[in-house]
């Protein structure tokens, strides 16, 4: 057994420990910490199992599987947080996922790779498409907020509007999902030759049997749901104990837990000078958070009886997402990166994290 797999198995022991601490009514902070680490490890198991299944399915079906199951840990965590803490923390988690992978993850990969290579290059076509989709994310998330602002500024409109915030969020969610589906068709089928560089870079032969891959995927998903339940239970008490804003825990720890496997993979590939794959992982993960995870949560929230909207009422959310899209567009324009650009991205992420830390309790 590889040392990495052995370490991941040992870290999984933290999940039963978190359960024991929870049922024996220990301090929620310890439940949150141990459960979070276990969920992050499970997310990496899910990612690896998904890649193994995708290797059997081929590029097109494999890409669809990666989208469907690669973010399942993040979705499960957000669903439990939504049901127990509320939509505002989930919106904070979505914001954190976007800025975390685009700034922190990409920055770490650039820094790690830049310390080994003077300059690292990538295909501008793929990175340009991802950067353009990030701009679409900004527009899509701005629309419900502007709608809410306009309705609030003109109270007489609220009585005559043919659509509510919840209905607008549903409509936007459907459009976003359709656009992401079209992106999959574009990159994996109709224009696969243009974007094949990143796919071939990440292609590998399956080292697990199909039955083992499916078993790990199913079991890890079920266990992740249990871990996400523990973490979400301890979230609010942890914020009170540590005297931290609840939104800060959503933007930083929760978001990093859900995207931890992507962050680790990006750093590894950055050290290997595989920047096309790094761009696909980091920017693709951010886009999935906005175009897949957020719409899925909106649709699922209706079945939970706790409708969630896409109205990011705090302007700091929108500033963080818009600023991230602007920076990514600037970084990806020349088709190459250096370690200093990576450090700049990490610095911007730290500044945004500090802003959410000092925004005050929520």
CB neighbourhood size of 249 (10 A): 26
CA distance 259 to 165: 29
CA distance 22 to 32: 9
pLDDT band of 354, cuts 50, 70, 90: very high
What residues are paired with 120 via a beta bridge?
337
Sign, CA torsion 94/345/127/53 = negative
pLDDT band of 362, cuts 50, 70, 90: very low
Under a CB-based contact definition with an 8 Å cutoff, are residues 284 and 63 in contact?
A: no
pLDDT (0 to 100) of residue 52 = 85
Summarize pLDDT for 193-233 with one digit per residue, the tens.
Answer: 655 554 445 455 678 888 888 899 899 999 999 999 999 99
pLDDT (0 to 100) of residue 215 = 92
CB neighbourhood size of 54 (10 A): 23
pLDDT band of 153, cuts 50, 70, 90: low
Residue 161 has pLDDT above 70, yes or no: no
Residue 107 has pLDDT above 80, yes or no: yes
CA distance 24 to 34: 14
What's the mean pLDDT in 8-15? 82
Q: How far is CA 334 from the centre of its chain?
A: 26
pLDDT band of 152, cuts 50, 70, 90: low
pLDDT (0 to 100) of residue 361 = 53
Residue 58 has pLDDT above 80, yes or no: no
Which string of b and e fits 270-294 if b means at least 16 CB within 10 Å? bbeebbbbbbbbbbbbbbbbbbbbb
CB neighbourhood size of 178 (10 A): 12
Classify residue 43 by burial, with Cβ atoms within 10 Å: 0-12, 13-18, 19+: buried
Domain 3-357 has CATH 1.10.3210.50: no
- Supply the DSSP symbol for 121: E
DSSP string, 320-357: HHHHHHHHHHHHTTSSEE-HHHHHHHHHHHHHHHHHHH
CA distance 157 to 117: 58
CA distance 75 to 105: 19
CA distance 92 to 326: 20
Residue 264 has pLDDT above 70, yes or no: yes
Nearest to 225, CA basis, from 332, 362, 72: 72
The structure's pTM equals: 0.89
Q: Which comes out higher in pLDDT, residue 152 or 237?
A: 237
Under a CB-based contact definition with an 8 Å cutoff, are residues 214 and 48 in contact?
A: no
Under a CB-based contact definition with an 8 Å cutoff, are residues 133 and 284 in contact?
A: no
């Amino acid at each position: 057994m590889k040392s990495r797999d052995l370490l991941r198995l040992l870290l999984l022991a933290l999940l039963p420990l978190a359960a024991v601490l929870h049922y024996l009514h220990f301090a929620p902070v310890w439940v949150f910490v141990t459960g979070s680490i276990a969920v992050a490890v499970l997310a990496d198991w899910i990612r690896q199992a998904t890649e193994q299944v995708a290797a059997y399915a081929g590029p097109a079906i494999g890409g669809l599987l990666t989208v469907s199951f690669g973010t399942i840990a993040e979705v499960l965590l957000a669903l439990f947080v939504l049901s127990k803490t509320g939509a505002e923390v989930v919106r904070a988690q979505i914001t954190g996922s976007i800025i975390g992978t685009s700034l922190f993850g990409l920055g770490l990969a650039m820094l790690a790779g830049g310390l080994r290579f003077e300059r690292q290059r990538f295909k501008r076509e793929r990175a340009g498409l991802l950067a353009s989709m990030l701009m679409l994310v900004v527009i899509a998330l701005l629309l419900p907020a502007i709608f809410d602002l306009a309705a609030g500024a003109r109270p007489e409109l609220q009585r005559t509007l043919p659509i509510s915030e919840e209905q607008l969020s549903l409509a936007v969610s459907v459009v976003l999902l359709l656009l992401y589906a079209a992106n999959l068709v574009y990159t994996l089928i109709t224009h696969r030759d243009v974007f094949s560089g990143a796919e071939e870079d990440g292609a590998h032969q399956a080292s697990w049997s199909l039955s083992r891959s499916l078993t790990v995927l199913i079991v890890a998903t079920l266990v992740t749901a249990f871990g996400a339940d523990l973490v979400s239970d301890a979230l609010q008490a942890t914020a009170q104990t540590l005297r931290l804003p609840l939104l800060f825990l959503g933007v930083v720890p929760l978001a990093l837990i859900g995207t931890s496997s992507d962050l680790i993979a990006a750093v590894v590939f950055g050290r290997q000078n595989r920047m096309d794959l790094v761009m696909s992982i980091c920017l693709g993960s951010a886009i999935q958070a906005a175009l897949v995870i957020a719409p899925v949560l909106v649709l699922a929230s209706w079945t939970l009886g706790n409708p969630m909207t896409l109205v990011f009422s705090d302007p700091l959310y929108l500033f963080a997402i818009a600023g991230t899209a602007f920076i990514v567009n600037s970084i990806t324009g020349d088709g190459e990166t250096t370690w200093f650009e990576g450090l700049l991205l990490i610095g911007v992420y730290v500044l945004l994290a500090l802003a959410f830390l000092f925004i005050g309790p929520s």
